[in-house]
Chain A
Amino acid sequence: MKTVTLRHGKIDLTLHALRDATTGHPLLLLHGRGQRAAATVPDAVATWPGPIWALDFTGHGASTVPKGGGYSVEILMADADHALAHLGAATLLGRGLGAYVALLLAGARPKEVRGAILCDGPGLSGGGPRPVTPTVALPPDTVLGRAPDPFALLELARDVRPPDYATSFVRQATQLSELERPISVCSAERPDWLLAVIEEPGVAVTSLAEALAHYADVARDGQATRQREPRV
Chain B
Amino acid sequence: MAADAIARQYDVDKNSVNLFCEPGKGSYRPGTIAFVAKKGASIDLDKIRESITATRLSGGTNMSVDYLEITATGEIHMGAKEIVLKMPGQVFVLEKGPKFDKLREAVARGDKVTSVTGQVQGWNGRFPVMLQALAKTSGQNRVPLQVTGFETAKK
Does A associate with B in a complex?
no
| Contacts from B to A (Cβ < 8 Å) | none
